[in-house]
Amino acid sequence: MENRGLIFIPDISGFTRFVNETEIEHSRYIIQELLEVLINSNQIGLEISEIEGDAILFYKYGDAPELKAIYQQVEKMFCEFHRRLIAYEQRRICRCNACKSANDLTLKVITHYGEFTGYNVKNFSKLIGKDIILAHQLLKNDIDHHEYWLVTDGLMKDDLPTDLPQWVAWSSSTKQTDNGKVGFQYTHLGQLKDSIPADTLPQLEINDKVKMFSVSREIDAEINTLFYTMVDFSSRQNWQEGIKKTDEVSHTLTQIGTRHRCILEKGHVLMYTSSFSHSPDKIVYSETEAKKKHENLFTFEKTGENKTRITVDVYLKKNLIVQTIFNLTMKKKFENSFRQSLENLAALVKGGKLPVEV
């Protein structure tokens, strides 16, 4: 059995063609994260031969596992894949085509048992064999659904299994391959989505808070262009007073729950993206300090063609002593700092171009 084993290929599909570099870059990050979810969901000791674009070639030498064990692996990967997509849809801030269409991504799994072997080229290991080729050819078939589990007849053996969930319904088909016609069974996986719990957003905003001051300014910029310029952590030091740089951003694509560190003249502060809402004429976004001592709420309101009013509301956790000290010693300084920051933002966004289509 040394050269025989299970071939297991989960394949992601569904991204449309993107129109600019930002969307291509965002799709790459999303796919990378989903591939990591699939790898981390491996529970039956599968080995990875290679990652092939949007698919992973897993394998396991030896006797074929019981079909129930393979189903449980398929179920685990499918549910974790869609759990991540649900969470991303609930938390996302970017509205480019790639990010908006992420929730439409689908997953299919090809499973086959056959002969193959490996070879090494420097630090790289590759699998070869007619059954590896066959499994890849099965990725393209006449199944008219996008989410399914395909099992070749050789892996299915003689009888359809009876120890799988009752909703599993098998259909038969064949595929003409380089090695002749191959029969297979397949079942749709969409019903598994009903078992995935709704995503619970993290509670990052301060519940018991008091507004200390507001500053506002109308800026000659389209609302989305202004917002995405403001929320770009890599350029935060170019407009916000007191910040030398921003680093340790916890997620490449900013979303609710993303943490970033602001390096100040003295020390640093950890902030979380804590809320977001979007409509064509109004965007509301907040950042909350990690220990929930203060919170900045940014409101963007469209006031005309390529004109937007941005308002910053600064909150503190309700505490009479802290509020009094702030009003006496720091309020004026912070107000002036935020007013200057909005002046800087207005200058920064001039001539700016929205990097994504929204």
Domain CATH for 312: 3.30.530.20
Residues 181 and 138 sit within 8 Å (Cβ to Cβ): no
Q: Please, what is the Cα angle at 306 between 303 and 309, to 5 degrees? A: 40
CB count in 10 Å sphere of residue 247: 12
Q: Distance between CA atoms of 156 and 185, rounded to whole angstroms?
A: 8
Beta strand residue intervals within 43-101, DSSP E: 47-52, 55-61
C-alpha distances out from residue 214 to 22, 206, 265, 286, Å:
33, 17, 23, 14
40 assigned to some structural domain? yes
252 and 188 in one domain?
Answer: no
Residues 122 and 160 in one domain: yes
Domain-located, residue 201: no
Q: How many domains does the chain have?
A: 2
Are 352 and 221 spatial neighbours (Cβ–Cβ below 8 Å)?
A: yes
CA–CA distance, 102 with 113 (Å, rounded to integer):
32
Please give the backbone phi and psi of residue 211, each rounded to the nearest 5 degrees, phi first: -75, 130
* Domain carrying residue 319: 209-349
Q: What pLDDT shows up at residue 118?
A: 85
Classify residue 152: in a domain, yes or no.
Answer: yes
pLDDT tens for the chain, 358 residues: list them.
468 999 999 999 887 655 566 688 888 999 999 999 999 999 999 999 999 889 999 999 999 999 999 999 999 999 999 999 999 999 999 988 889 889 999 999 999 999 999 887 776 678 989 999 999 999 999 898 899 999 999 898 766 777 899 999 999 999 888 878 999 999 999 999 998 988 888 899 999 999 999 999 999 999 999 999 999 999 999 999 999 999 999 999 999 999 999 999 999 999 999 999 999 999 999 999 999 999 999 999 999 999 999 999 999 999 999 999 999 999 999 999 999 999 999 999 986 665 555 5
Last-in-domain residue among 171, 195, 219: 195
- Say if residue 105 is in the same domain as residue 242: no
Check whether residue 191 and residue 213 sit in a common domain: no
Rg of the chain (C-alpha set): 26
Residue 225 and residue 163 share a domain:
no
Position 200 in a domain: no
Which residue has 């519940």 as its token pair?
207
Rounded CA-CA distance 302/281 in Å is: 5
* Residue 346 main-chain phi, psi, to 5 deg: -60, -40
142 & 27 share domain: yes
pTM for this predicted structure? 0.89
The dihedral sign for the CA sequence 110, 7, 36, 253: negative
State how beta strands 259-264 and 268-279 pair: antiparallel
Q: Cβ–Cβ contacts within 10 Å for residue 237, how many?
A: 15
Q: Which residue has 């004026």 as its token pair?
A: 332
Task: Give whole-number Cα distances, 175 to 153, 183, 208, in Å.
Answer: 11, 6, 62
Both 64 and 182 in a single domain? yes
Closest Cα partner for 308 from 231, 229, 225?
225
Distance CA 45, CA 342 (A): 54
Distance from C-alpha of 250 to C-alpha of 267, rounded to nearest angstrom? 19
- Within 8 A by CB and 6+ apart from 150, the residues are 108, 109, 110, 111, 138, 141, 143, 184, 185, 186
pLDDT at 351: 67
What pLDDT score does 343 carry? 97
Residues 93 and 186 in one domain: yes
Q: Are residues 101 and 152 part of one domain?
A: yes
Structure tokens at 117: 């072997």
CATH number at 186 reads: 3.30.70.1230
